[in-house]
Amino acid sequence: MSELFGTLLDGAAVRRWTLERGGVRVRVLSYGGIVQSAEVPDRDGRTADVVLGFDGLDGYLAHPEPYFGALVGRYANRIAGGRFSLDGREYRLARNNGPNSLHGGERGFDKRVWEAEPVEHGVRLSRVSPDGEEGFPGRLEISVTYTLGADAALRIAYEAVTDAPTVVNLTNHSYWNLAGSGNAGGHALRIAASRLTPVDGNLIPSGAFDDVSGTRFDFRRPRKAGSGYDHNFALDKGVTRAPEPVAELHDPSSGRVLTVATTEPGLQLYTADHLDASVPFAPGDGIALETQHFPDSPNHPDFPTTQLRPGEVFRSETVYGFGVRD
């Protein structure tokens, strides 16, 4: 089911699609591929929205930078200095995060209206990113499909092709709060990662890998998520053809459980510490679990590659499952 959600200043219509199955209701916007809401039951069957978002389009237009629920690209996360080289040619990008390029630049995929069409139990969004958009090379044709499976899990499947060598890294930037409100730092978190990519003061990886053993980054056994995280975890499973379980978030108060499975090699844990008074959410009100390739991969040849070439197909899939625990 779709309905008009609002209109941009240029007259472009934004539609909202509602996916409902197995007691779960998810709403997706054609603007920015945003997951506006995800309503799921608790252990007593009471439903709450577990994704931070706004009731109207104006909220997203007024507060774009936290990327609430958005589909981000052409390159999710940071690229150092807003530049990278590919096949001996340097490309310069918008520096919209201090000295770095972040989440695709000044007007990334999160700020575009996507074409939308219904599919079984879901919606498929598509657009063409022209050669040179935000400084990235190649004409990129992208589709992103959101579906609710028979298990009522939200599946996000990405696919892209290019007519020239380029780099691609796509993710969803939802902030999860399984209690439905309040601070999410008390949620129990598990991440199947024994290493992370350490970063400098601008959150750019050094290129090394740090063992999480004995540090505050060790989430291999569930413990409180807490605060102070904006880090990429190198998942033990690496890149896989099919989604594999990599993380779990649990709210003891409601019993709700969120599971994350993905084909991606990395997961960015962001505890939303930098939300401020300009948005109607407080620091720590949500936890982002962004499945991805590593930050700044185009400048680190030892990282899993984000290069995409003509004749190849970029594919990535992440599954967010919902459940309850006593």
CA distance 245 to 207: 25
Q: How far is the CA of 121 from the CAs of 125, 171, 201, in angstroms?
A: 14, 21, 43
Residue 230 marked ligand-binding: yes
Instruction: Determine which one of 103, 173, 187, 231 is catalytic.
Output: 173
User: Any binding-site annotation on 173?
Assistant: yes
Residue among 134, 290, 293, 317 flagged as catalytic: 290
* Nearest by Cα to 248 from 283, 216, 219, 212: 219
Q: Say if CB 188 and CB 225 are below 8 A apart.
A: yes
> Residue 146 annotated as binding?
no
Written as one letter, the residue type at 42 is: D
Instruction: Measure CA 86 to chain center.
Output: 25
Residue 175 is labelled as binding a ligand: yes
Contact 159, 315 (CB under 8 A): yes
DSSP labels for 217-270? T--SS-EE--S--EEEEE-TT-S-SS-EEEEEEE-TTT-EEEEEEES-SEEEEE
173 is a catalytic site residue: yes
Residue listed under structure tokens 């930050």: 295
CA 285 to chain centre: 17
Alpha helices in the chain, H assignment, sequence order: 57-62
- Amino acid code (one letter) for 190: R
Residues belonging to the active site: 173, 290
Q: Which residues are annotated as a binding site?
A: 77-78, 173-175, 230
Q: Which residues are annotated as a binding site for beta-D-galactose?
A: 77-78, 173-175, 230
